């Protein structure tokens, strides 16, 4: 049972959250992708993540990893092999594509293929101007100055 949500009331009171609403709407739609090959997503610490994909039987040349504008796309395409002599073929050689939507300021730090597992390390690097910062509070001596101008009480009389 699919449930859809109306985000229109949120549009009236929020600015700049269009990407989040689009992600929520896209997540609700049925996608024709499968969960093959299986993968894990691990949060290593506050700003580091790792995606590990089981790509047994695929070589480095048969895998393609692209990152552009908050989207990480992993594709695999097996080169054509001879099917002669097989009595049973249980190892899947079908092509695949996995798409991972990444948050703002998350970048790919590296990728490694070892023992049939492709590990992609991701790091969130928040720009210095967006990090929280301490604001100095100025303390005055309690006397308010109006640009050094004072009215002499005797002269005003």
Tell me the pLDDT tens digit for each residue of 108-132. Answer: 999 999 999 999 999 998 888 877 8
> What φ, ψ does residue 43 adopt, rounded to 5°?
-95, 110
pLDDT at residue 46 is higher than 60: yes
User: pTM for the complete prediction?
Assistant: 0.66
The residue extents of the domains of the chain are 1-30, 35-80+92-126
* Mean pLDDT on 10-35: 67
pLDDT interval class at 1 (50, 70, 90): very low
pLDDT interval class at 28 (50, 70, 90): low
Residue 18 falls in which region: left (phi positive, over 0), alpha (psi -120 to 50) or beta: alpha
Q: What does the pLDDT read at residue 77?
A: 93
CATH of segment(s) 35-80+92-126 = 2.60.40.790
């Amino acid at each position: 049972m699919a449930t859809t949500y109306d985000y229109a009331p949120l549009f009236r009171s929020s600015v700049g959250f269009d990407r989040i609403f689009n992600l929520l709407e896209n997540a609700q739609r049925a996608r024709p992708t499968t969960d093959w090959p299986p993968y894990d997503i691990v949060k290593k610490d506050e700003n580091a993540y790792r995606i590990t994909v089981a790509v047994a039987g695929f070589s480095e040349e048969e895998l393609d990893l692209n990152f552009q504008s908050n989207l990480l796309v992993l594709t695999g395409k097996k080169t054509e092999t001879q099917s002669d002599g097989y009595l049973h073929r249980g190892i899947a050689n079908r092509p695949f594509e996995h798409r991972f939507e990444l948050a703002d300021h998350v970048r790919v730090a590296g990728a490694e293929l070892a023992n049939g597992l492709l590990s992609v390390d991701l790091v969130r690097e928040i720009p210095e101007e967006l990090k929280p910062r301490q604001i100095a509070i100025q303390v005055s001596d309690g006397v308010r100055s109006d640009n050094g101008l004072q009215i002499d009480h005797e002269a005003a009389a």
